Each structure stands twice: as C-alpha cells, then as structure tokens.
A = this chain, B = another copy of it.
Amino acid sequence: MDMENLKHLLEGVKDGRVEIEEALSKLKNLPFEDVGFAKIDYHRAIRNGYPEVIYCQGKTIEQIKVIVQKLLEKGNNNIMATRADRAVYEGIREITGDTEYYETARIVAVKRREILRSEKIIAVVSAGTSDIPVAEEAAVTAEILGNRVNRLYDVGVAGIHRLLACMEDLMNANVLIVVAGMEGALASVVGGLVDKPVIAVPTSIGYGANFGGLSALLTMLNSCASGVGVVNIDNGFGAGYLAGMINRL
C-alpha cells in the first residue's frame, strides 16, 4: 500500500499505459499470492533486504513446505522459519539444500543471498541458563538479519558481580537485548548502566507466582530505567528483529 507505488500506478493510468481494470487488479494481486490457507508476501525481502519470515507454530509441515516453495520460486529470497522443530527443518531441507538448523533457537534458515553486515554490536544479555533458548532465538534472528551479536549469558542480578564484570561488553554494544524470566529485574539494571536502547524479553521460565512469565513482564514494563522497550513473553524473534532494525538505522 506504498504511496509511491500508488502514484506511479496513477501516472500509468493517466498516460494510458495502464488500464483501469488492470490497475485495480494490480492493487489487489501484486504484493502477495493466495494459496488458500495463507497469503504469501513476495515483497518484504525486496523492500528491506530482509529474509521472509515463517512463524511455524500452528502450521502443518505441508503448509510450511508450500510457503517455502512459493517463496523460492518467486524470487531468490532468504527465508527464516521460527518456532521450528527438527521435523520442520527436515521438511524444508527436502526442498532446498542450503538450509541450516539452529536447534536451541528453534530456527531454520535458508540462505540464498548475501546480507550486508553491520559492524555495530547487539549484546544479548540473559539471566539464567534456562533462558538460553529464548536468548538464542533473539541472537540468531539478529545474526541472520546481518548484525554482529555478543552473547552475555547467566548474568542475573542475584549475583551482580557477574554482570558488572561484563561492563565493557555492555558499554560497547549499540543495542542491547535483555532476556530474563524470574529475574525480570535484569532489564532495569542493564538499562541504568548503559545509555543505549534496551529491548527486554520476559520469559516464561520460573514457577509459582511467576504465572507463565507475567511476573517478569510486569517488572520489565515498570522498569525505572529510561530507554527500555518490552516485547511479548518468550518472543526472542521479535526482540532480535526490533534490535536489528534499530541497529541498522
């Protein structure tokens, strides 16, 4: 629904180069294809050089394979499938060989084009060992989007000396992702130590009054440190994507 495309189309109509019916139809058909259970976009990669993203949860492997097939037919796009178990990986590998699986991060990547890499660093900071899968989802996402990532794991606030020992790494980052479950407090502390944007990811790790991540979510939203934005519980992908977007501004 890009205003420039619309303007260009209107000029074509005026010049008589474009028929009205054709214009209307283009407005509807250009940007995606309807395969019944999904409408596949072909323009994202073109628009911003990013891979097409498939969120796998709730989709059958057959559905995922159709989407991958269509995306590869249309352009020579990079593809990234999130929340993907090993069976998804194997399904996609049947279609194309240049497929990689990041097991901890549950991400499948199909790499067709070179991505321009940014030299600025995204730090992914996580509180506990159990938070690592979400942290990896964030880190791998950011890497696939062309960013350098520095992983700082197991630096929860209950042992603040571990975090302070990472001061240089924290200071050198251009954007920071903070992943924490029980210990949502980490986002506040990191946010107070640096003057760069912090993307906070609450995780559902914990028990009892953690209430599936609600505790960490509320803590992060109430952070007293300025410069902290929060994504959904366990949404490592969202954090990696947002951090990457910021890092490449």
Q: List residues of chain A with CB under 8 Å of any chain B CB.
A: 1-3, 6-7, 10-11, 13-14, 16, 20, 23-24, 27-29, 31-32, 34, 36-39, 41, 47-48, 50, 53, 57-59, 63, 127-130, 132, 153-162, 164-168, 171, 174-175, 182-186, 188-189, 191-193, 195-197, 199, 202, 204-219, 221-235, 237-238, 241-242, 245-247, 249
CB distance B38 to A129 under 8 Å?
A: yes
Q: How far is the CA of A121 from the CA of B153 in the complex (A)?
A: 35
Residue of B41, B153, B230 touching A229 (CB-CB under 8 A): B230
* CB of A77 to closest CB in B, whole Å: 15
**Total copies of the chain:** 8
Contacts of A235 in B (CB 8 A): 207-208
CB distance A233 to B245 under 8 Å?
A: no
Q: How far is the CA of A156 from the CA of B193 in the complex (A)?
A: 12
Known: A202-B208, A209-B222. 15 other contacts (CB 8 A): A1-B164, A7-B24, A37-B132, A39-B154, A39-B155, A160-B160, A160-B192, A183-B224, A195-B245, A199-B229, A208-B212, A208-B222, A209-B214, A209-B217, A226-B238
Q: How far is the CA of A231 from the CA of B187 in the complex (A)?
A: 12
Contacts of A205 in B (CB 8 A): 58
Q: How far is the CA of A175 from the CA of B245 in the complex (A)?
A: 10
* CB of A211 to closest CB in B, whole Å: 7
Contacts of A158 in B (CB 8 A): 188-189, 191-192, 223-226
Scoring A28, A197, A217, A223 by chain B CB atoms within 10 A of each residue's CB, the highest score goes to A197
CB distance A59 to B130 under 8 Å?
A: yes
* CB of A124 to closest CB in B, whole Å: 13
Contacts of A14 in B (CB 8 A): 13-14, 16, 20
Which residue of B is nearest A47, CB measured?
A: B195
